[in-house]
Structure 1
């Protein structure tokens, strides 16, 4: 049951459906509670603003709110011209619409101002014409406020899981790239394509991290330093893997990259290190469970050391890769190999 619930939470479609239904329902309740004359605009706004991420929801909500406030403010001019000076409707509307259209062409995010102006002027009401833009602003406030609250509260802290899930995928792609280069089954263009896929997964990690920064008022570095430093460690590992792959493909046929007797040891140690990182990220993608530091220390101690035989360039690059691999394992496991032993007294 727990695994089923975890898969349910991980499904983007399910999460967004729950958020959207919650936003629309709450917006309808608030609009009914304050007796809003046109509650439909609040519901429409909640549908538009509620996005998959907090970042996108805030951006959409800001654009909706700013545009509506601009349109409501501008609409006061034609309303006054029509109601007080008895100007023809279309002349008064055009006088306000033209400069607003210029503004929207310059700042497309303010396009809701045009919609608000049209609603306030072109849709008649039995109440005071000045209430139309006020009602519109209230409806937008309700829709934006409800969507923001729902995005923060409903299925909260999913960004962390998404970050570690994408991190596991990134490491798999790094391993695949190294294996293809070592066996020389592909050429450099194919390695570049694989690196592009790896970079795309890494961008997902960074995007999820930025989303996680918005989920709490406390800085991410203070409440989750492992997640805050994760993209940097992955990026360095990706760069190392690409350079090593390039060097392996550039070796002339018959050249010895590393002493053949060491190859099996190096391969086994690195496979264990990469495999541990993948498992660690996948476990954090399910729940924040923590890890015994001794486990990471054991994985690090099993990583091989290089001898002085073989191609010096390959040895140097593989040494850098191993060093960065060790650093990432230490980050994910909070390595305590260099910490002073506790005082028995």
Structure 2
């Protein structure tokens, strides 16, 4: 095995161990802290989904549920985490939209073009060191190519991108506000 491959495997193993340890530590929180952390997360998720949904509807996007879904999927315990997750959503949606459009233009009803677009989007995101964006790229391509819709593919791609942007912005705003509120209530740092 090459040094590069060995290094990658070591990093993946260490990240896996770190994630397992973080999960274990979360489970050791006393019930009161779990309740507080869970309540703060529930407020973030509920408010972000609500803001995303109604903001999308307010600007004329009939399927505001995509903005709500995005807000829910990017909501984390801190503004920095939401910012990174939102970046991944946005980049993934752009790649998925462009690849979905290209694949649809090349082979509207050919499943092979869909699979190639999904795989290519995942690969591109990994090449720019944003592996999480690859999942979003694949989901966006799937929505464009496999979810029944009316209208041209380019319109569907632009609408999904707009809804993703609105949902991500809603999650960012809500997380920022909840962090400020937590600070005013006496928490020195956002609750994690």
Q: Calculate the TM-score normalised by the size of structure 2.
A: 0.69
Which residue of 96, 100, 113 maps to 2:121?
Answer: 100
Residues 158-188 of structure 1, C-alpha deviation per residue, up to 9 Å, x if partnerless?
359544xxxxxxxxxxxxxxxxxxxxxxxxx
Structure 2 unmatched runs, 5+: 1-31
Rounded to whole Å, the distance in 2 between the matches of 1:136 and 1:63 is 15
Figure out how many residues of one structure are paired with residues of the other and give that number.
Answer: 154
Query: Which residue in 2 is equivalent to 1:133?
Result: 157
CA contact (8 A) 1:72 1:116 kept: yes
CA contact (8 A) 1:45 1:140 kept: yes
Which residue of 94, 109, 115 maps to 2:139?
Answer: 115
Larger Rg belongs to: 1
Query: Which residue in 1 is equivalent to 2:75?
Result: 50
The CA deviation at 1:44 is 0.9
**Greater helix fraction, Structure 1 or Structure 2:** 2
5 Å matches for 1:4-83? 11-82=36-107
The CA deviation at 1:24 is 1.6
Rounded to whole Å, the distance in 2 between the matches of 1:14 and 1:94 is 40
Stretches (4+) displaced over 6 A = none
Which residue of 137, 150, 173 maps to 1:149?
Answer: 173
Rounded to whole Å, the distance in 2 between the matches of 1:19 and 1:156 is 12
Cα RMSD after superposing both structures:
2.7
- Structure with the greater relative contact order (CA < 8 A, sep ≥ 6): 1 or 2? 2
The CA deviation at 1:41 is 1.2
* CA pair 12-98 structure 1, distance change in 2 beyond 3 A: closer
The CA deviation at 1:99 is 2.0
Structure 1 unmatched runs, 5+: 1-6, 164-207, 212-345
* CA pair 76-152 structure 1, distance change in 2 beyond 3 A: same
